[in-house]
Chains A and B, each alone.
Chain A
Amino acid sequence: MLEVREISKSFGGLKAVDSASLDVASGEIVGLIGPNGAGKTTLFATIAGFHRPDAGTVAFEGKPITGLAPHRVCAAGMVRTFQITQPFAGISVRENIMVGAYLHTADRHLAAREAEAVAALVGMRDQLDQRGADLTVAGRKRLELARALATGPRLLLLDEVMAGLNPTEIVEIVGVIKNIRASGITILLIEHVMQAVTSLAERVYVLNQGRMIAEGTPAAIADNEAVIEAYLGHGAAKVLRA
C-alpha cells in the first residue's frame, strides 16, 4: 500500500533522514520507533508531503506521490496527525472534525453527521461542543485522530498519539486504534510507548540517526542487538546478555 524507497532529507548540514525505506501492506498496523531525534517525524512529514525529499520516492497504492502537496496526499487517501497537537483552538470539537469531513462532502449536515459518528468512534461524543482550546492533552490527541479519520483515509499516519497520556488513557486509545484498524484502515504509527507498540503493531521499523537499522516483529526487535545499542548505548547488548 505504501512504499517508501531510500528517502533522504537534510536540513542545512544535518541529515535528518538518510536513505530510509519502509513498506506498509494493506490492513497492517506498522510501528516506527527510534530514539529521540532519530528522524521519525521528519520521515513522516516527508511521506505526507510536508517536506520535499532530497532523494528517494514515495508511492501510495502503486502511484508515485513523491513531493506532492499535503492536501493532495490527503485527498489521495493518506492522512497524518501531529505529534504536537494542532487543534483549531477557537472552534468546537464538532467543527474541528467537520473540517476533515468536508474533504469529501460540501454538505454541512452530512459533514456534521459524520463528525458525530467519528467522535463516537474515538470516544469524544460528550465533548462535541467544547472548544478545541479547552481540551485536555488526551482530548487533543483524540481530536487529532478524529479529524484525520473524518477525511476518510485508507492509510493513517499517527505521530505519537500516546505521548503525554496516562496509563488508563493509553489503554483507551489502544482500543480506539484497534477499532480503527478493524474498520479497514491501515495504520503506520510512530510511538515511544513500547507497551502500546507491542500490543498493536505486527511489524516494527527502527530508525536511528536517520537510518533504518532494523525491521521485524516487536519481539524480534526487542532482541535485536543494533536496536538495544541504539537505545542504550554502545556495548549495552553485551552487558544485557551477560
Chain B
Amino acid sequence: MSRSVLLCVLGLAAALAYPLLVPNYLVTIGMLVFFTAFIGQSWNIAGGFAGQTSFGHVVFFGTGAYTSTILQVTYGWNPWLAWPVAMAAGGAVGWMIAVLSFRAGLRGSYFALITLAFAEVFRILANSVPFTKGGLGMLIKADPRPLNFQFKDPIWIYYLALLLCIVSLLIAWQLTRSRFGARLVAIRENEDAARALGIDVFAEKVKVLTLSGAMCAAGGTFYAQKYLYIDPGIAFGVDKSVEMLLVSMVGGAGTIFGPLIGSFTLMGINEVTRWLASVVPAFKNVQPLSLIVYGIMLILIVARLPDGLMSLFRRPAAKPPPRHA
C-alpha cells in the first residue's frame, strides 16, 4: 500500500514539474494525455467498472461542448458558469439514454449499438438544427483571459487537464472502495446474481450512466475552450468514442489507472510514429502510421492481455485448483 502511495506522490510531482522543463509543444502533448485519460475515465466508470460498454460515449462529450458553447456564444454566458450547466446536460442525456435502453432491457452488444445510434442521431441533429449553426460549426471568440476559460500560456490548460484527470482518478478510486462501486462491479460480473442479492440493477445502471455522462460533458466543454471551435463531426464524431474506449481497454478497463496508462501509451505511440514518419523515408507515405500501430497493439492486447496493460503490474493470479469431477 505504502509503495503505491509513494508511486502516486512521485507521479504527481513529475506531472507538476513536467511543463516547467519542456517546450510548449510537449506541454500540449502532456495536456492531451491527461485530457484523454479524463474522458477515458468517464467511459471506464460505465464501461469498465459497471460493464456497460458504450460505443457512443461521444454523445455526452458533444452535448457538453455544444451546451457551454451555445450558452457562451449565443447567450453571452461566462464559460466557467456554463461548465456546470454543460455537465448537467451531459448527465441528463446519460440519464435519458440509460432509462430508455435499460427499460427496454438492452444489454451487452445491444446496449453498445444503441449508444452508437444515439451519438449518430445527435451528430445529424447538430448538423441540421439552427441553434448549433449546423455544419458550419461554432466559433468561440478568442479572448485569452483566465476569467474567460482561455489561457495564453499552455501551461495553465495543462494544469487544468491534470486537475480533471486527478479528480477522475479520485472518483474511480472511490468506486473501488464504496458500496456503489461494489454494486457496479457485481452488475458487470453477473446481473442476475446482483438482482438476487438485493441490488436494484436498473437504478444503479441509470446512476452510473448519469455520472459518466456528466463527466464526459465536462471534457466536452474543456475541449471547446481549448480549441475555440466545434462542429458536429468533432463534437459527435465516432473517433472520439473509439478513443475513450481504446485508452480504457488498452490500459485496463475497470481499473483506476487504466485510462491514464492507456492514454499515455497511445499518445506516446502517436508521437513516436509521427516522428518516425518524418525521419524514415520508407514510412513517409504510410499515412497515419500511428493507426497501424494502434491496430497491431489492440490485437496483441486483446489476445495476450485482455485485462490491459494494468494487469502487468499486478501479481499474476494463482492457478485455479483442479476441478472436482
Q: Which listed residue (A87, A106, A151) contacts B179, Cβ 8 A?
A: A106
Contacts A87-B190, A95-B182 known; A131 to B317 CB distance under 8 Å? yes
Counting CB contacts under 8 A, is B239 at the interface?
A: no
Q: Which residues of A contact B178 (CB under 8 A)?
A: 106, 108
- How far, in Å, is B250 (CB) from chain A's closest CB? 18
- Which A residue's beta carbon lies closest to that of B201? A71
Q: Which residues of B contact A99 (CB under 8 A)?
A: 182-183, 185-186, 194, 197, 199
Q: Does the CB pair B182–A98 fall under 8 Å?
A: yes
Q: Which residues of A contact B193 (CB under 8 A)?
A: 82, 86-88, 147
Counting CB contacts under 8 A, is B198 at the interface?
A: yes
Interface size on A, residues (CB 8 A): 42
Q: Which residues of B contact A210 (CB under 8 A)?
A: none
Counting CB contacts under 8 A, is A31 at the interface?
A: no
Counting CB contacts under 8 A, is A203 at the interface?
A: no
Counting CB contacts under 8 A, is B281 at the interface?
A: no
Counting CB contacts under 8 A, is B177 at the interface?
A: yes
CA distance A164 to B190 in the complex (A): 21
Interface residues as binary, A85-123 with B (CB distance below 8 Å gives 1, 0 otherwise): 011111100010011101101101001000000000000
Q: Does the CB pair B177–A108 fall under 8 Å?
A: yes
Instruction: List which A26-67 residues lie within 8 A (CB) of chain B.
Output: 48, 50
Q: Does the CB pair B189–A74 fall under 8 Å?
A: no
Q: Which listed residue (B179, B195, B320, B324) contacts A71, Cβ 8 A?
A: B195
Counting CB contacts under 8 A, is B318 at the interface?
A: yes
Contacts A82-B192, A88-B189 known; A136 to B324 CB distance under 8 Å? yes
CA distance A131 to B193 in the complex (A): 16
CA distance A8 to B200 in the complex (A): 26
- Which A residue's beta carbon lies closest to that of B190? A86
Interface residues as binary, B158-190 with A (CB distance below 8 Å gives 1, 0 otherwise): 000000000000000000011100110110111
11 A–B contacts, CB within 8 A, in A order: A70-B196, A71-B197, A74-B198, A82-B192, A91-B189, A99-B194, A105-B179, A137-B323, A137-B324, A147-B197, A165-B324
Q: Which residues of B contact A (CB under 8 A)?
A: 177-179, 182-183, 185-186, 188-190, 192-201, 317-318, 320-324
